[in-house]
A and B are shown apart, each in its own frame.
Chain A
Amino acid sequence: MASELSVMFRRRRTWAMLAALAAIPVLIAVAVRVTGAGQSGHGPAFLDRITQNGLFVVLTALVLCTPLFLPLTVGVVAGDTVAGEAGLGTLRYLLVAPAGRARLLLVKYVGAAVFCLAATASVLLAGTVAGLALFPAGPVPLLSGELVDGWTAEGRILLVGAFVCVSLLGLAAVGLFISTLTDVPVGAMAATIALAIAAQLLDALPQLDWLHPWLFSHWWLGFADLLRQPVEWTSFGNNAALQLGYVLVFGALAYGRFATKDVLS
């Protein structure tokens, strides 16, 4: 496990993706700072509040990153898990070591999950730093109207981060499964990312509303409930249950595929 993480974090690509994610809140903060307050009601959610309180930079960034940039990076990492090793040829050496197929899959999934955490943390951290550096801090108004102090607000932001991170776990499991289907990592990455986008498109079609609660992306932007007083946990719970379901189903599919697969790469 330590070895898996060290391989991932010694890779320049991993750091490039984390840096790109961190750049998004910084860009938002700088842009808002330079141009002054945006018009209320325009642009992504929370954008118009940034000038009042720097912590809104984080929320704006998460709203922007969750549908596209985070799934993009998670798709790259999750799609690469098994197919990447196969593409390099190292998969056969890991298996004759012997790493054990179930254990290898588990370690690969945990690695991808750690990346989900790192990716979310990277947006969170950069957003907090940039927000507090460029804009006033102080009491933060919640969506339900109450004002809370900065530390409580930061706690809520961490909760939102946890929500986003959990949201990505299902996608990571889907990516892991796709990754066991091919020896071409780029193909697995592209397929995973395409699925993430397709799920969101389907979620936007009202004709398919019966399907919506089963899409892994359905709750992705449902973190607003965590910004009320008292915290509304329903969406967090629903999301976590849905993601767990995806992890179990696609984890089992990945194992079913990988356990008996001929490794010919």
Chain B
Amino acid sequence: MSGPPQGSGPPQGSGPPQGSGPDGGAAVIETRGLTKRFGRQTAVDGLDLSVPAGAVFGFLGPNGSGKTTTIRMLLGLANATSGTASVLGQDMPGRLDAVLPRVGALVEGPAFYPFLSGTANLRRLDAADPHSPRATRRQRVADALERVGLQYAGSKKVKAYSLGMKQRLGLANALLRPRELLVLDEPTNGLDPQGTREVRNLVRSLAAGGATVFVSSHLLAEVEQICTHAAVMRTGRLVAQGTLAGLRAAGQPLVVVRTPDAGAARRVLDSLGLVPGPPTHGADMADGATVTAKLPAAARDGAPRPEAIVAALVADGVRVRGFSMESGSLEDRFVELTGEGFDVAR
């Protein structure tokens, strides 16, 4: 796809969830003009993020778009150059000690002491918080390990763990206590398909339990399957945020035509005011090519109806073997928003 990259401009999408409106409840994460500069390089630029309570919020963007830096600022690991952030209704990093015990986090991949066992690592990280109850530690660690399927590997040293097992252990660390907010940075990194499914189920069960889940990812499919809301970052800026349905609806509808007469089809679509892309050939050449065409936003109101498009194609002798209107696949929407180089998972 070659959607025009829209680097600047106001965030699009359905109206962003309101911070503390009477209808939506308080925002769990709220930032105002959050900015982080490293020397002359701006990693995060004027971020206005609003994550409603109870949402499963997908935080999308290509590698290096500022997602992890944002998460570090939200968790008080890095200081913002300017702007403010509040988490669970309290100022960060000012009220860090009150906020962080209620937040479970997986930041930029799991990290453990390789010379300690999984269980010992979790106990160590749990003991790092002076307020975490010592009496229930053993039980909570065992429960967290079981929740991520590591109950039989807890006594193994972490250096013997695979990447996927470390990722699971990192998730277990985030689940050591009941949390109101989970911040998960690339939670399915390194996991096999089975593990990815388990993480999805885990996120769903956490959300069902009332927690807000903030998942960063560069994998669109992951977000599309589990999230209720999403925000898209591009080179440090927020280019869209809102409900998933809202983001989808804001995308350009696509016309997909399967035909052996690709050239003729493109001419017809072009004459109707659509913007056809280059034809793509399926594995079976005899079956013809697939031509997709975008409906430009300007022409959307007076756009021809689907049946009129088919009629025009047939009238011009195009052998139409398949036709569909795909109104706003999220993937197209994100390629539109983030331009080239976006790592789209299929």
Where the two chains meet, the residues of A that have a C-beta atom closer than 8 Å to any C-beta of B are 2-3, 6-7, 10-12, 88-90, 92-100, 103-104, 260, 262-264
Whole-angstrom distance between the Cβ of A83 and the nearest chain B Cβ: 14
Cβ contact within 8 Å between A96 and B111: no
By the criterion CB–CB under 8 Å, are B125 and A94 in contact? Answer: yes
The majority secondary structure among interface residues of chain A is helix
Bound complex: CA of A94 vs CA of B113, how far in Å? 12
B112 touches A (CB below 8 Å): yes
> Contact: B79 with A260, CB < 8 Å?
yes
CA distance A151 to B105 in the complex (A): 56
The reply to whether B128 and A94 form a contact with Cβ atoms under 8 Å apart is yes
Question: Given A2-B127, A3-B127, do A92 and B108 touch, yes or no (CB 8 Å)?
Answer: yes
A96 in contact with B107 given A7-B113, A263-B72, A264-B78 (CB within 8 Å) = yes
Q: How big is the B interface, by class?
A: 20 to 34
Question: Given A96-B75, A262-B77, A264-B72, does the pair A103, B127 have CB atoms closer than 8 Å?
Answer: no
What 5 A-B pairs have minimum CB-CB distances, sorted nearest first?
A89-B111, A97-B128, A98-B100, A3-B127, A262-B78
Cα distance A263–B107 in the bound complex, in angstroms: 11
Interface residues of B (CB under 8 A from A): 72, 75-79, 96-97, 100-101, 103, 105, 107-116, 120, 123-130, 132, 173
> Closest B-chain residue to A94, C-beta based?
B128
Which B residues touch A97, using CB under 8 A? 100, 125-126, 128-129, 132
Q: Could you tell me the dominant secondary structure of chain B's interface residues?
A: loop
A100: B residues at CB distance < 8 A: 97, 130
- Known contacts A11-B115, A12-B115, A90-B111: A96-B105 contact under CB 8 Å: yes
List chain B residues, Cβ under 8 A from A6: 120, 124
Pick the most buried of B108, B112, B125: most chain A CB atoms within 10 A of its CB.
Answer: B125
A92/B112 contact (C-beta < 8 A), A100-B97, A100-B130, A263-B77 known: no
B197 to chain A, nearest CB (A): 25
Q: Which chain B residues lie closer than 8 Å to A94 at the CB level?
A: 125, 128
A10, A12, A97: most-surrounded residue (chain B CB, <10 A): A97
- Contact residues in A for B129 (Cβ distance below 8 Å): 97-99
What's the Cα separation between A260 and B107 when bound, in Å?
A: 19
**CB neighbours of A96 from chain B (8 A):** 75-77, 100, 103, 105, 107
Query: In the bound complex, do residue B116 and residue A3 qualify as a contact, i.e. CB atoms below 8 Å apart?
Result: no
User: Do residues A10 and B79 form an inter-chain contact, with CB atoms below 8 A?
Assistant: no
Question: B173 touches which one: A3, A93, A264 (CB < 8 A)?
Answer: A93
Contacts of B76 in A (CB 8 A): 95-96, 98
Q: Chain A nearest CB: distance from B157 CB in Å?
A: 10
Nearest-neighbor residue (CB-CB) of B69 within chain A: A264
Contact A90/B112 with A97-B100, A98-B100, A264-B72 known, Cβ cut-off 8 Å: yes
CA distance A263 to B96 in the complex (A): 15
B130 touches A93 (CB 8 A): no
- Nearest A residue to B43, CB-CB: A264
22 contacts between A and B (CB under 8 A): A3-B127, A7-B116, A88-B114, A89-B108, A89-B109, A89-B110, A90-B112, A90-B125, A92-B77, A92-B107, A92-B108, A93-B125, A95-B75, A96-B76, A96-B100, A96-B105, A97-B125, A97-B128, A97-B129, A98-B101, A98-B129, A260-B79
The answer to whether A98 and B97 touch across the interface, beta carbons within 8 angstroms, is yes
Q: Which residues of A contact B77 (CB under 8 A)?
A: 92, 95-96, 262-264
- Known pairs A2-B127, A98-B128, A263-B72; list 6 more (Cβ under 8 Å): A88-B111, A93-B173, A98-B100, A99-B129, A99-B130, A264-B77
Taken together as a complex, chains A and B put the C-alpha atoms of A90 and B252 apart, in Å, by 44
A79–B124 alpha-carbon span in the complex (Å): 21
Most buried by B among A6, A88, A93: A93
| Complex-state Cα separation, A60 to B20, whole angstroms | 72
Residues of chain B within 8 A (CB-CB) of A88 are: 111-114
CB <8 Å contact, A7 and B124: yes
If A12-B115, A262-B79 touch, whether A98 touches B107 (CB-CB below 8 Å) is no
Complex CA gap A110/B126 in Å reads: 20
Q: Which residues of B contact A263 (CB under 8 A)?
A: 72, 77-78
Q: Which residues of A contact B128 (CB under 8 A)?
A: 3, 93-94, 97-99, 104
Q: Shortest beta-carbon distance, B309 to chain A, in Å?
A: 52
